[in-house]
Amino acid sequence: MAGLRWPPDDSELPQPRVPPSGDLISDDDRSVAADSWSIKSEYGSTLDDDQRHVDASDVLSSGNFRAASDYSSEKDEPYANEDEPSMLGLQSYWDASYAEDLTNFHEHGHAGEIWFGAEVMDTVVAWTKNLCLNLPQGRIAADEGDGKYALDGITNNFADWSVLDIGTGNGLLLQEFAKIGFSDLTGTDFSEGAIDLSRNLAARNGFPHIKFLVDDVLETKLDYQFHLVMDKGTLDAIGLHPDGPVKRLMYWDAVAKLVAPSGMLVITSCNKTKDELLQEVENFNERRLASQVSTQGERSRGYLFKYINHIRTYPTIMFGGVDGSRVCTVAFLRKRV
């Protein structure tokens, strides 16, 4: 089941929707936008995008991963793609959105929108802080018997943690991490306007040490890894691209290279439930293991990503006999290999 929806009664937690054709994009329309990027970047790639598209399409057409159109309307498959493509999945939308935000900043000092709202952002930061405190002390069960999920070389001193925010938007999430003691902070976005805005806001608010780079996660030029990778809406936006199912597969291949061994990935989504994200990670793990068997002739022990926790304090409602929330935040630990 996709992320549960109900009539908007809380402006802090907007839902993605497409502005009517031909209408101007209003502030309300842009407030539902994820601080993320789409698929095709103008800034170059370390990989051939056409080949990656073919590889991901081959996976979708295999027996284990079918295209979204193959699933029945009864949604009896756990990995059915229910995201309707929209302009929120296109880079052109975000470029226009952040160009307007940048103008508003220079003229009025406005910071722009916070997707999911400030309350959710504060909850994510506080909850992630506790994870970073507890994981090095062994308070989070993450081992698979062989110890390959144990955290290496990281303490609960936040200065030791390198943090990446993919699809950083205006960069306010990283500013909140800076306020609680994290100092090695990097934000990336495929929209140059978003990076210009985030740099201006960080300088104005006293956080000039935060690094902001133009980069597309699916074609990342980053050649290093991070102890903590944050995704607040980026995977949602990728799923809204016309080729969303293929691009989501590419996302997991790319993110696996950005999270350091024994590092954490924290995803906040309004388009997927916790269980759907867990299924997506399981599919990625299985696909990766199958690839290892075919190339190496043996199966490695354990999965690359392991679920460790999720936020349980978001408001829930009952709809159609099922409890659900408008937002979910899930944390995964990357295997130490």
Query: What CATH number did the domain enclosing 300 receive?
Result: 3.40.50.150
Q: Does 21 map to a domain?
A: no
pLDDT of residue 78: 38
Do 79 and 70 meet the contact criterion of CB atoms below 8 Å apart? Answer: no
Mean pLDDT of all residues in 254-274: 94
pLDDT of residue 246: 92
Q: Does 20 map to a domain?
A: no
pLDDT of 45 higher than 80: no
Q: Does 7 map to a domain?
A: no
Listing DSSP states for 226-248 in one string gives: EEEEEEESHHHHHHTSTTHHHHH
Q: Does 190 map to a domain?
A: yes
Mean pLDDT of all residues in 31-46: 33
Listing DSSP states for 277-307 in one string gives: HHHHHHHHHHHHHHHHHHHHSSPPSS-SEEE
Q: Does 48 map to a domain?
A: yes
**Which domain does 82 fall in, by range?**
27-334
Q: Does 10 map to a domain?
A: no
Residue 11 — very low, low, confident or very high, per pLDDT cuts 50/70/90?
A: very low
pTM exceeding 0.85 = no
Q: Does 8 map to a domain?
A: no
Query: Of the ranges 75-89, 109-123, 217-231, 282-296, which one carries the lowest mean pLDDT score?
Result: 75-89
| pLDDT top residue among 315 and 265 | 265
Q: Does 3 map to a domain?
A: no
| Number of structural domains in the chain | 1
Three-state DSSP state, 267? strand
Mean pLDDT of all residues in 185-214: 97
Closest CA to 257 of 281, 282, 225: 225
pLDDT of residue 140: 56
pLDDT in tens, 281-332: 999 999 988 877 655 555 455 579 999 999 999 987 766 676 667 899 999 9
pLDDT of residue 134: 86
Mean pLDDT of all residues in 175-204: 97
